[in-house]
Structure formats: structure tokens, C-alpha cells
Amino acid sequence: MADKNPFPGENNTGHIWDDNIRELKNDPPRWWMIGFWASIIWTLAYAVLYPTVPVGDEPNKGILGWTAIKEYKEGLAEVEAVRARYETQIQGMTAKQILADPGLTAYTVASAKVLFGDNCGACHGSGGQGGPGFPVIVDDDWLYGGTIEKIEESITKGRKGMMPAHAKRLSPQELDTLANYVVNLSQGKDDPAGAALFKAKVCFACHGANAKGVQAMGSANLTDSIWRFEPGGVESARRTIAHGVNDAGDAETRQAVMPSFADRLSANDIKKLAVYVYKFGGGVQ
Amino acid sequence: MQTSSANSASLDSLLEEADSWQVNTGGETIHAKRMRGRWRTLKWITSTIYLSFFLGPYLRWGDRQAVVFDIPNRQFHLFDITILPQDLWMLSLVLLFLAILLLALTVIVGRAWCGFLCFQTVWTDVYTWIEERFEGPPPQRRKLDKAPLSPRKIRIKAAKHGLWLVIAVLTGISFAAWFTDAYGLWAGFLTLQLPAAAWVTILLFTAGTYILAGFMREQVCMWLCPYARIQGAMVDVTTIIPTYDFHRGEPRSRKKRGAADGGAGDCVDCNQCVAVCPTGVDIRQGQQEGCIMCALCIDACDAVMDKLGRPRGLIRYESLDGLQGKARPPLFRQPRVLVTGLILLAALGGIFYGLNTIDAIELKVLHARQPLYVLQSDGSIQNRYTLKILNKLADDVKVRISATGPEGLAITSGTTLAVRHGTVTPVTLFVRVPRRNLSVESQPIVFHIETLGREPAFSSDRESIFIGPKQ
């Protein structure tokens, strides 16, 4: 720093480096000062209009009364307003009528996606692909029927099938024979010994004379490729026969309960979900 | 023909005013002198390109505006071509083409864009021309600026600013007219019934035009525009640009040749080159960022040389190599010209290809991921797809969907449907294949759509995969 100011008459601070680099005391440009004061005024106005620093113990709500939750609810109301047109139409229609209208079906499928994720996905998978112990609902095999009415009924009332445990009623050989028989059935192979035992042990009472199941009671179709309890095969079938399904008297029984959603969801939401599940591709006319 | 005495008299007057022309230091308004000349004429001619900006929106094509960039509906109409967002890759090629064209132009002739074509240059030129009509030549303008407020000053200034604002508003409306129906825009404007977006657009462009061309002028080129900053990397010793021939001009002498000693150059230091410069730079200091290469100094200097009876071209379009007496290599021998030329050709080829192969209908296929496949009760495997069919035709059209892939495949959902025009219609499709025909986990499947009941028929293919259980 120079001791003597070599630039007399110039409005500098006297701070000089490298002989000629010096700090001037020029005023900031006018536009800059305008911006400076404008931003201070802006800040004050903002503090008055919007929630800012609390005054005393009270939160400062600002004179506009703006809140984030209010803004969110307004945004939500806008969405609801857009949906209202479809929702009012859907209200007065049955699920079958909705399916007859491609536009409303598309709306229903799109808007029920969240409902499905919230209420169904935990057991049936986000895409309806099922999970260990929980049925796949995208295929064309339905224990209780795949028409739109039956799907709606399953969601509303819930389903709880029952197959008694046979471990105490059948010998191990008989269990093996029946387990092999149902696997052969699903592969379309002949098994006269198994068929005879199937008849002798009155399995047909629930599964039907042709072993195709009875939808009224939710008994499984044993002739198709799909297993209610994955992974299927002899071992899996043997366990189901031995310990049953939902048999309270057997500790190892298969647990299979679809809860009722009548109390949790509105009839309208259930209707939408039925359409959504139907459109997974397995729905039956 | 002027006599030589008249010539020398006018030269004297030029020399007298020489010191009043100062190089732009940013402190005061530049009032550039206007002079006739070749380059001045060329600049007016190149400026007329902007007439298309003002008049273009009123062109009609059939029953609609010929060119309209319809942002709300996401459609660009260029005469009989309609460009949807799916074709916007062509826009990137157009932008590439324009950017490289700018580079190529600069490589060869410097900032010709800045000097002759840039809207900032052209609008400023028109604004200062109006200013001169109202306020007179530069000395009178400077005097008027300094004069105290008087009825005369207010009258002149109000008329000038009024005309400036009219041009600014016209600019704003013309800009907005490219994005909507031009006639409807005018109707809405005159009845004050435009949507907010239109008002904001018009207001922004009006304010932008008025401020940038009326007040900021050369400051935009010198302190706002990034192009001025990167041009140094584009111009080299072979680029021909307005250049002061210092070999010939120096040392400068205000004396006439007869009276000067033999060592004096041709430059008489009359400062006319500074006087006419719209950005207020002195070309004699060499190439600089403030120079927009409008060549008006060439006109000014040539006029003075004519008066002196000396050859023109003391300031001329010349490369630095040329100034040193080196021959410039021909254009096709300059690597930068070749490379930029190739890129230009490639971009142009891409645009040409794109415009010629815009599909009337387009198919996209999304394979459902959750679940990847479904086992059906008859043992077959089902995959779910979402087909997105884009219809760029002017009408709704019926299409038929088919697929080829693993043996025995069957589409189990509807295969004909109506697709709306100008948008994407999604459709869910289920495909089944007997399990025994799936030898590997994933197989290719090709979807095909074709229009029904119209000539010519259009079609589109898209490959996807069919997924089965792990083998």
C-alpha cells in the first residue's frame, strides 16, 4: 500500500496495490440501487403478507392467510373437478355398464390403480401377479368365478374356502396316490388308480365329478395348469391334501383368506377395483 | 462530378469535425453518422429478410395459416407438413444446421451475421434511422440531448418514441402471430380480448424491442451477446473481415499529400470510420470484440479516398494473411470450411430424410413388466402389451393389429380399433403362445399395424419381446 496517494483528486480510498490498482469510492449504479431498495421493500411486504417470524408466542400467519395445506387442497380440488365428470357418471352405473364404455373403462382403470396399490397389492402383487400363498388374479382361472359380478362379490364379501385336512383319514400311501393323481390330471395323463381313489374317498363331493372344481364353493379346478398354492407339483399337492385349507383343527393347514372390503371401501371404489381386476386380462364374459 | 477544390473543401470540413468523433467507452450514447455506400445498400437489402417475419403469419395454406407453431396442441404446421413432438429430433438438426451455418459464415467472412442480419443490428438501424428523421444528424442529436426541456424537444422526442413503440408493438404481435391464428390475434388485440399468455408475449417483445433497439443498442453487442465473446475462436488469419490496411495508412497525417513529407501514409485521420461505426469502435486499432463487421467504415473510408483521389480500399474486406501479402488458400483447402461443410450437409440430409419419411402412423410397444408373463389354465403363456398408436393423419382411422413371433401365437383381445388423429391412442393387447413352443425365456415378436379402408394404406412395425418361464 502506498503511503502517498499518487492519484490525487481521484475519489479513491487510498488503498493501492501494484502501483496502480486502487479501490474507488464510486456510487453503485442507479439500477443497482433501485434493485437493492426494491428487494428490501419486497422482503418487508413479503413478511407482512406471508407467514414469517413469529410475533411473541403466536405464529405469524400473514395477512393473506396463505398456508401450504390450503394450496395443496386447492390443487386437489382442481383434480377432483376434472374427475367429477367421470365420477358422477360412474356412480349410477354397474361395473358391467362401465365395461361396455371404452372411455369410462379407461378412466376407471387409470384411476383405480392407486386403489389397487393401496388395498390389494400387498397380497396380490402390484400387477396382480400373486405371491406365496396368494392367488394370481391376472390369469383366467377363478376359484369363485371370473365374471365382473363375481369379482365384485369377492371384493365386497371376501372369500374363505375350506378344505378339511386328510392326514388322519388317509394313509401315507393314499396321500401319495392322490397327490400324484392331481398332478397327472393337470398334465392330462391317465391315472386309473388315482381316479378310483378320488372316487372312493368322495373328493368329487367338493371338486366335482370331473375334478374341475365347483365355483359356488370355491373348490379348485384340479385339471388345469394353474396351482392355487405355488409351486405346485406332487409335494405341494400332498401337503394341501394332508393338512387342508383353513382347517382350524390342523396346525399346518394352508391359510387362505380374502378379507371383506365392504366396510373399508365404498361400493363405488369396489366397483372400480372390480373393473380394474377384470381388465388385467383374466376377466370372463 | 465534383471539382477538386470542392473535394478538398469538403475534406477540410471532415477534418474539422474529426475530433468530435470519439471511440465508445460506454459512457455516452453513440450517435453514428449515416453515409451512403455499397455496404450500406447491402445492409438495407439483407434487412428486408425481416419483412418475412412481419408478413409470414398472414400466409394461408388451404384453410389454415401456412406456418404456425401450435404449442398448446403440440403441432407445428409448415405448409403441408405437420410436425408432432415425435418428430422434434428434426428440430435439433435444424438448430445444428443454423449453429454450424453461423460458424461456417464466421470462419469465411467474419461476423457477417452481426453486421448484416442480426435482428439487434437491423432493429437498431431502423430505430436510429427514425431518430435521424426526427432529430437530425448526430451533432444536432447531441445538442438536443443536452438542451433543456422545451415544447419543441418534447414534441420531437414524443414523436420519435411514439413511432419506436409502434414498431415495438408490431414486433411483439408479429412474433406472437407465429404461434396462433394471426387474424384471430389481431381481432383479440383490437378488442382487448386476448388470453394472458398472448398479452405477456406481446408485452415482453414490445418492451424488449423498445429497450434493446431504442436504448441499449450497441451495448447489447458489446456486453450482452455471447456471440461477440466466442467469435475470437472462430475468426483466424484466413478469414476475410473489414480490416484497416496499416501498411498503407500509417503513419497518419492530416496534411494533404502535397504538403506532407514523403513518409506519410494514406490515412488522413479524419475519424470518419469512427463516426459511422454503430458500435463506436476504431477499426484502425485492429480486430476487436466491439466490431460487428457491418463494413460501414469501408463505405466511409472509400468516400474519403475518392475525395482525396487515392485508391479505395484503405479499409477493406481482407484477411490478416492477405494484409501480409500472403495468398489465401482456396475454400475447399481450408479444413474448417470442409468440416463445417460436412456437418451442414449431414444435418441437411437428416432433415431431408426426416421430412420424406415422416410416418403417417407410428407404433410403439411396451411390454408389461408386472408380471412378465401369466400362465393360463390351458397351459399357454400370456403376455400383456400396451400398444401406443400415433396417428399423424388429418382424420381418425381404423387400424388392424397383427403380430408375428413364436409359433402358435394368438392375439386374444380385439385387433381392430379406431385411432384418433393428431394424438396417441393406447391399447392393451394380450398375446398367448402354447408353452411347448417357448424354447427360450425371451423371444422376439413383431407387431404390425395397418390402416383399413383408405388408399393408400399406411403401416408401421415394432419389435418387442415375448417372455415365458425360465427354462
Count CB-CB contacts under 10 A for residue A268: 12
| pLDDT value of residue B463 | 94
Q: In this predicted structure, what is the pLDDT of residue A53?
A: 85
ipTM for this model? 0.77
Q: What is the pLDDT of residue A230?
A: 82
pLDDT at residue number A273? 96
A221 to chain B: which residues are within 8 Å by CB?
377
Residue B2: per-residue pLDDT: 45
Chain A residue numbers touching B368 (CB-CB < 8 A): 127
Digit-coded pLDDT (tens) for B285-340: 888 888 899 999 999 999 999 988 888 989 999 988 888 888 878 888 888 889 99
pLDDT for B26: 64
Angstrom distances, CA of residue A136 to CA of A125, A196, B129, B373, B433? 8, 31, 79, 11, 19
pLDDT of B444 reads: 94
Which positions in chain A touch B384 (Cβ < 8 Å)? 138, 281
Percent of chain B past pLDDT 70, that is, above it, reads 96
**Which regions of chain A carry the CATH code 1.10.760.10?**
82-156+265-278, 172-255
pLDDT of residue B70: 87
Give the closest-approach CA distance of A53 to chain B in angstroms: 35
With an 8 Å Cβ cutoff, are B374 and A224 in contact? no
B375 touches chain A (CB under 8 A): yes
Any CB–CB contact under 8 A between B27 and chain A? no
Per the structure block, which three cell numbers stand in for B436? 411347448
Task: Answer whether B371 sits within 8 Å of A281, measured CB to CB.
Answer: no
Each residue of B435-465: pLDDT tens digit?
888 889 999 999 999 999 887 888 889 999 9
What domains does chain B contain, in order, with CATH numbers?
A: 31-233 (no CATH), 361-467 (2.60.40.10)
Name residue B416's beta-bridge partners. Answer: B400
- Residue B3: the pLDDT is 47
CB-CB neighbors (< 8 A) of A138 in chain B: 371, 374, 384
Is the CB of residue B428 less than 8 Å away from at least one CB of chain A?
Answer: yes
Residue written as grid cell 395443496: A72
Burial B194-227 (b: 16+ CB within 10 A, else e): beeebeebbeebbebbbebbbebbbbbbbeebeb
Distance (Å, whole) CA B124 – CA B210: 10
- Cβ separation of B370 and A127 shorter than 8 Å? yes
Give tens-digit pLDDT for A83-119.
999 999 999 899 999 999 988 999 999 999 999 999 9
pLDDT digits (tens, 9 = 90+) for A175-218: 999 999 999 999 889 999 999 999 999 999 999 999 999 999 99
3-state secondary structure of A209: coil
Q: What is the pLDDT of residue B7?
A: 62
Report the percentage of chain A scoring pLDDT > 70: 99
Cβ-based neighbour number of residue B416 at 10 Å: 10
* Res. A271 pLDDT band, cuts 50 70 90: very high
Measure in Å the smallest separation between the Cα of B55 and chain A Cα atoms.
37
CB pairs under 8 A between A and B: 46
Interface test with chain B among A120, A183, A189, A225, by most B beta carbons within 10 Å: A225
Mean of the per-residue pLDDT values for chain A? 91
List of chain A residues whose C-beta atoms are within 8 Å of the C-beta of residue B369: 127
Residue B453 C-alpha from the chain's centroid: 43
Segment A217-236, tens digit of pLDDT:
999 999 998 999 988 889 99
What is the distance between the alpha carbons of residues A220 and A144, in angstroms, rounded to a whole number?
Answer: 9
**Looking at the predicted structure, is the pLDDT value of residue B27 above 60?**
yes
CATH superfamily of A172-255: Cytochrome c-like domain (1.10.760.10)
Question: Containing H/E element for B15?
Answer: helix B4-17
State the cell numbers at B122.
437491423
Give the orientation angle of helix B296-308 with respect to helix B4-17, to 10 degrees: 130
CB atoms within 10 A of CB A39: 10
By CA distance, what is B418's nearest residue in A?
A: A102
Nearest CA-CA distance, residue B219 and chain A, Å:
16
**B-chain residues near A282 (CB < 8 A):** 374
Closest Cα to residue B227, out of B76, B379, B320, B99?
B99
CB-CB neighbours of A164 under 10 Å: 17
Least confident of A129-138, B205-214, B356-365, B421-430: B356-365
Contact A139/B370, CB-based, under 8 Å? no
User: What was the pLDDT predicted at B1?
Assistant: 41
CB A98 within 8 A of CB A105: yes
**B260 contact A CB<8A:** no
Beta carbons within 10 angstroms of residue B190's beta carbon: 9
CA A243 to chain centre: 32
Are B374 and A141 within 8 A, CB to CB? no
For residue B34, give the DSSP letter.
P
The pLDDT of residue B25 is 66
The correct CATH number of A82-156+265-278 out of 1.10.760.10, 3.40.640.10, 3.90.440.10, 3.80.10.10 is 1.10.760.10
Q: How far is A81 from chain B (nearest CA, A)?
A: 21
Task: Quickly tell me which residue has 442529436 as its cell.
Answer: B141
Q: Residue B411's beta-bridge partner residues?
A: B431
pLDDT tens-digit map of B203-261: 999 999 999 999 888 888 888 888 888 887 888 888 999 999 988 888 887 766 554 45
pLDDT per position as a tens digit, B175-191: 999 999 999 999 999 99
A129 contacts in chain B (CB < 8 Å) = 370-371, 374
Task: Give the Å distances, CA to CA, from B410 to B47, B378, B433, B466.
Answer: 64, 14, 7, 12
Quickly list DSSP for A235-254.
HHHHHHHHH-BS-TT-TTPB
Maximum alpha-carbon separation in chain B: 113
Beta strands in B379-458 (DSSP E): 380-391, 397-404, 410-411, 416-419, 423-434, 442-452
The position carrying cell 394341501 is A240
The stretch A61-82 carries a mean pLDDT of: 93
Could you give the 3-state DSSP secondary structure of residue A119?
Answer: helix
The rounded mean pLDDT for chain B is: 88
Tens of pLDDT along A73-84? 999 999 999 999
d(CA B29, CA A1): 37
**pLDDT score, position B11:** 72
Distance, C-alpha A249 to centroid of its chain = 34
A-chain residue closest to B375, CA distance:
A139
Would the pLDDT of A25 be above 60? yes
The whole-angstrom distance between A130's CA and the closest CA on chain B is 9
Q: What is the largest CA-CA distance in chain A?
A: 122
Task: Name the residue among B163, B143, B128 with its Cα closest to residue B30.
Answer: B128
Strand B397-404 and strand B374-375: pairing? Answer: unpaired
Task: Answer yes or no: are the C-beta atoms of A158 and A149 closer than 8 Å.
Answer: no
- Give ∠ CA A83-A86-A87 in degrees, rounded to 5: 80
